Amino acid sequence: QVQLVESGGGSVQAGGSLRLSCAASGDTFRVASMGWFRQAPGKEREEVTCINDDGTTSYAESAKGRFTISKDHAKNTLYLQMNSLRPEDTAMYYCAASRLYLIHSCPEKADFAYWGQGTPVTVSS
């Protein structure tokens, strides 16, 4: 099993920044890909960005140029730096981990077996 604990959420004004963290523990050797997802009220959970073991990253169109995913392997911690935040970024943000490794690609949402409890992000206009 892999345990994931997110932190760093909060309330900011539009244009502000936040840095989310996700600490992984347990059988982390099983993890080949990690990602950030978000779910706004009344909407489906969507992928924001992910990173796999060969360093490949992918971003949703809404996140490109504003968000950056990174991973500190020594600390087993995943980060999401979010800049130029917009009200539409308001959501619960979840960290997720997958045992699936795809060359130069990231798994689908259904292939992420491990999920954190989420950290809320609120962006006011």
pLDDT digits (tens, 9 = 90+) for 99-113: 998 888 889 999 999
Positive or negative: CA dihedral 86, 104, 115, 80:
negative
End-to-end CA distance of the chain: 40
Phi/psi for 120 (5° steps) reads -85, 140
The model's pLDDT over 30-47, given as tens digits with 9 standing for 90+, comes to: 899 999 999 999 999 999
pLDDT of residue 68: 98
Q: Kindly report the average pLDDT of the chain as a whole number.
A: 95
User: Tell me, what's the pLDDT at 122?
Assistant: 98
- Asked if the model's pLDDT at residue 19 lies above 90, the reply is yes
pLDDT in tens, 66-76: 999 999 999 99
